[in-house]
Amino acid sequence: MDALEYVKLNLKDDSIISDDVVLARFCTVQSNYKHSSYVSSNLLNIVYKGKKILHTKDGNIEIKEGEAFFITKGEYIMSEVIGEDDYECMLIFFDHDKARKLISDLPFKLNNNNSNNTQNVFKFEVGDSLQNTIDTLKNYLEDKPKFSDELITLKLKELIFLVLGTNLKDNFVRFCQNLTLDKTDLKSFMENNYEKNLTIEEYAKLSGRSLSGFKSEFKNIFDDTPMKWIIKKRVQKADFLINELGYDVGTAAIDVGFKTHSHFTRVYKQHFNKTPTFTDK
């Protein structure tokens, strides 16, 4: 599910929603709560109770009370609350234009030629100064003041400046490089995300393209339709998991994005002209 759409649908009473920035409070009392989501807008997540693990394509990241993280648009993550404590956090979603405006006001210049060295998740500790700013944002959620969009943007900018004032400045500058990228490289994006349970429309949106633009560029790069290419990549990966790594068929099917064992078996047989079974080499 789209994380931003979830907030708009389910957290209306605990959020302030405008066109280019959304502030929300999220909490759960369910231990070991898990959910998968894709991030269609840049996000700042501030944890003020409990602990969670982010499962990303680059590895697992543990976030606990008193810590926060930025994550760029286009990421697909599985989030898992761990421990017995309740989990509570603040979420700030901000779109690409807002990110570019915020970053353009910062006292450094980005090197747009080094985008391959950037990162998609940036974790940091919440010190006293940051906490004061966060407390003000909490009050906004309670009071719902006029000019909320402008006020939230000012506090978001303040948070960014405060992070720049820590010893994480260099890492944060590299992260900001990715925060302002308008479009992802489509070939790399698809190679990293073909296993995800997304529609073609969602792939297009996350890559920063219209549906027609996505399909056209995809055809030029891969010489195939998106769905045919995705299915082929998934079944090839599943075959590797089964025959090289010893996965059972059902686990391999789910891991590469097939919803049912029967669908995977049918597609696998069409591709390899045999049913999927482990071959002892």
Please, what sign has the CA dihedral across residues 216, 210, 104, 124?
A: negative
| 235 vs 186, residue with greater confidence | 235
**How many residues can be counted in the chain?**
281
pLDDT attached to residue 212: 92
pLDDT attached to residue 184: 62
Domain 3-179 is of which CATH architecture? Sandwich (2.60)
pLDDT attached to residue 182: 55
Residue 280's pLDDT band (cuts 50, 70, 90): very low
Helix or strand (DSSP H, E) at 249: helix 249-255
Contact in structure between 120 and 178 (CB atoms under 8 Å): yes
Ranges in the chain annotated CATH 2.60.120.810: 3-179
Mean pLDDT of the chain: 86
Contact in structure between 177 and 119 (CB atoms under 8 Å): no
240-247: which pairs have CB atoms within 8 A and are 24 or more residues apart?
A: 242/276, 242/277, 242/278, 243/278, 243/279, 243/281, 246/278, 247/278
Ranges in the chain annotated CATH 1.10.10.60: 186-272
Looking at the predicted structure, is the pLDDT value of residue 279 above 90? no
Q: What is the pLDDT of residues 107-158, one digit of tens each?
A: 766 555 444 455 789 999 999 999 999 999 999 999 999 999 999 999 999 9
- % the chain with pLDDT above 70: 92
pLDDT attached to residue 281: 45
pLDDT attached to residue 45: 96
Helix or strand (DSSP H, E) at 250: helix 249-255
Q: What is the pLDDT of residues 143-199, one digit of tens each?
A: 999 999 999 999 999 999 999 999 998 888 878 877 766 556 788 788 878 888 889
Q: Which fold has domain 186-272?
A: Arc Repressor Mutant, subunit A (1.10.10)
pLDDT attached to residue 224: 94
Nearest alpha-carbon partner for 27 in 45, 44, 39: 45
| 181 vs 46, residue with greater confidence | 46
Cα(224)–Cα(230) distance, integer angstroms: 10
Cα(257)–Cα(253) distance, integer angstroms: 7
Cα(7)–Cα(275) distance, integer angstroms: 42
pLDDT attached to residue 118: 53
- % the chain with pLDDT above 90: 46
Looking at the predicted structure, is the pLDDT value of residue 265 above 80? yes
Q: What is the mean pLDDT of residues 81-92?
A: 89
Q: What is the pLDDT of residues 20-40, one digit of tens each?
A: 899 999 988 776 778 778 787
Q: What is the mean pLDDT of residues 226-246?
A: 90
Q: What is the mean pLDDT of residues 232-257?
A: 88
Among 74-88, 154-168, 169-183, 213-227, the minimum mean pLDDT is found in: 169-183
